[in-house]
């Protein structure tokens, strides 16, 4: 079994680049990263002192963008075995999603 030994968060510029590459709005990025609303996402990409993205949030977002439906289903199944109730839904629609 592997684990993440160290982590350095993406820069504000990296996050803005990802948002641009996906063609997403701030609310769509919030949805993708597990945040409640676009204003929460903007706390990671703007202001005087932007927040650093935590490893768990970044891992979640990267997993949704990377894993196949079957791979994601395996993860969700494991979460269910561990007592969680999880319902899958579609990624937020954007020009780059599904291409």
What whole-number distance in Å separates Cα of residue 31 and Cα of residue 45?
15
Q: Domain boundaries in the chain?
A: 12-81
pLDDT at position 99 is: 45
pLDDT at position 97 is: 55
C-alpha radius of gyration, the chain, whole number: 14
pLDDT at position 96 is: 57
Q: Which of 5-9, 27-31, 32-36, 95-99 has the lowest mean pLDDT?
A: 95-99
pLDDT at position 29 is: 95
In the chain, what is the greatest distance between 2 CA atoms, to the nearest angstrom? Answer: 43
């Amino acid at each position: 079994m592997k684990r993440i030994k160290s982590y350095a968060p993406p820069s504000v510029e990296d996050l803005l680049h990802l948002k641009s590459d996906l063609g997403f709005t701030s609310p769509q990025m919030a949805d993708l990263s597990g945040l409640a609303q676009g204003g929460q996402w903007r706390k990671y990409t703007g202001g005087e002192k932007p927040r650093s993205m935590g490893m768990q949030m970044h891992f979640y977002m990267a997993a949704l963008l990377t894993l196949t439906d079957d791979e994601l289903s395996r993860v969700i199944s494991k979460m269910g075995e561990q007592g969680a109730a999880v319902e899958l839904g579609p990624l937020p629609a954007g020009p780059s999603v599904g291409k």
